[in-house]
Amino acid sequence: MSAIEKKKGRPLDKSRDRIIMQSALELIGEHGYERVSMDRIAQHAGVGKATIYRRWTSKTHLVIQAISDVKPFEEILQEVEQFNDLRDQLFHLMASSFRIEDESIQRAYAAIGSAASQNQELELGLQQGYYHKFRLAFFAILDPYMYPNPALTLEQLDLIADIGPSMIHYRTIVTKKTIDANYIYQIIDELILPKLCH
């Protein structure tokens, strides 16, 4: 949900939400988080700044929702059900979550992740609105394979859940490289599955 809900008058046009969020990510991917203002987002989206502030109280709130809603995890989990193999399910989760097909979104993720280290509100919002949801989706996929006799402790599973996001964070922010299918499969085949099957 947006940070601000319209309480009276005309209801908010939800189709504009997607346009505004996409514009924010495109600009951040091109120019970086700090250099993108709400004015610039409004201009790029073709809306008035008031239209944005009716939905989000700040750029931080807008960006957190944009990152979380690029591909909702509920939708990803529904798509994952079509795959019978754990490897394929994990690949689809990670590929969809980190948008391996869209380098512009990957650049935005990297810029936002880098800015979060200096912005406590943004960092907390990403943890609660994005990474927490990723972990829930990860555990939902693992559950049928682990139940009823889990071979790993909760602490071990918790650590394994961090492998994918940590490797992708390092690759995009530290090495400035993009993410592709081969890299995702490397993470799964060499780091995640060996731990799960140990």
Look up the CATH number of the domain holding residue 135: 1.10.357.10
Close Cβ partners of 9 (under 8 Å, ≥ 6 residues apart): none
Instruction: Quickly state the pLDDT bin for 115 (edges 50, 70, 90).
Output: very high
* Per-residue pLDDT, 107: 92
* Per-residue pLDDT, 35: 96
Residue 8 lies in a domain: no
Together in a domain, 82 and 133: yes
* Per-residue pLDDT, 70: 76
Together in a domain, 108 and 166: yes
Close Cβ partners of 188 (under 8 Å, ≥ 6 residues apart): 87, 90, 91, 94, 164
Together in a domain, 75 and 123: yes
* Per-residue pLDDT, 11: 60
Measure the CA–CA gap between 16 and 20, rounded to whole angstroms.
6
Which of 35, 50, 65 terminates a domain? The answer is 65
- Centre a 10 Å sphere on the Cβ of residue 48 and count the other Cβ atoms it contains: 11
Together in a domain, 30 and 109: no
Residue 150 lies in a domain: yes
Q: What is the pLDDT of residues 81-108, one digit of tens each?
A: 888 899 999 999 999 988 888 888 899 9
Stronger pLDDT, 6 or 126, i.e. the higher one: 126
Measure the CA–CA gap between 182 and 179, rounded to whole angstroms.
8
The proportion of the chain whose per-residue pLDDT surpasses 70, expressed as a percent, equals 92
User: Which secondary-structure segment (H or E) carries 73?
Assistant: helix 73-80
* Per-residue pLDDT, 69: 83
Report yes or no: 13 and 4 within 8 Å, Cβ to Cβ: no
Specify the DSSP class assigned to residue 12. Answer: P
Cα torsion 126, 65, 111, 158: sign:
positive
Together in a domain, 56 and 124: no
Which of 32, 47, 65 terminates a domain? The answer is 65
User: 3-class DSSP state for residue 161?
Assistant: helix
* Per-residue pLDDT, 57: 94
Together in a domain, 117 and 31: no
Close Cβ partners of 95 (under 8 Å, ≥ 6 residues apart): 101, 181, 184
Determine the longest span between alpha carbons in the chain, in angstroms.
Answer: 59
Q: What is the pLDDT of residues 6-56, one digit of tens each?
A: 444 556 677 789 999 999 999 999 999 999 999 999 999 999 999 999 999
Look up the CATH number of the domain holding residue 57: 1.10.10.60
* Per-residue pLDDT, 198: 66
Which of 65, 80, 104 terminates a domain? The answer is 65
* Per-residue pLDDT, 6: 45
Together in a domain, 93 and 60: no
Q: CA dist 134 to 80, 94, 117, 118, Å?
A: 13, 9, 19, 22
Residue 6 lies in a domain: no
Specify the range with the lowest mean pLDDT, choosing from 9-23, 51-65, 118-132, 166-180: 9-23
Domain housing 140: 70-196
Number of domains making up the chain:
2
Q: What is the pLDDT of residues 133-157, one digit of tens each?
A: 899 999 999 988 876 667 788 899 9
User: Which secondary-structure segment (H or E) carries 31?
Assistant: helix 14-31
* Per-residue pLDDT, 10: 56
Instruction: Give me the mean pLDDT over the 184-194 stretch.
Output: 96
Report yes or no: 61 and 37 within 8 Å, Cβ to Cβ: no
Stronger pLDDT, 129 or 9, i.e. the higher one: 129
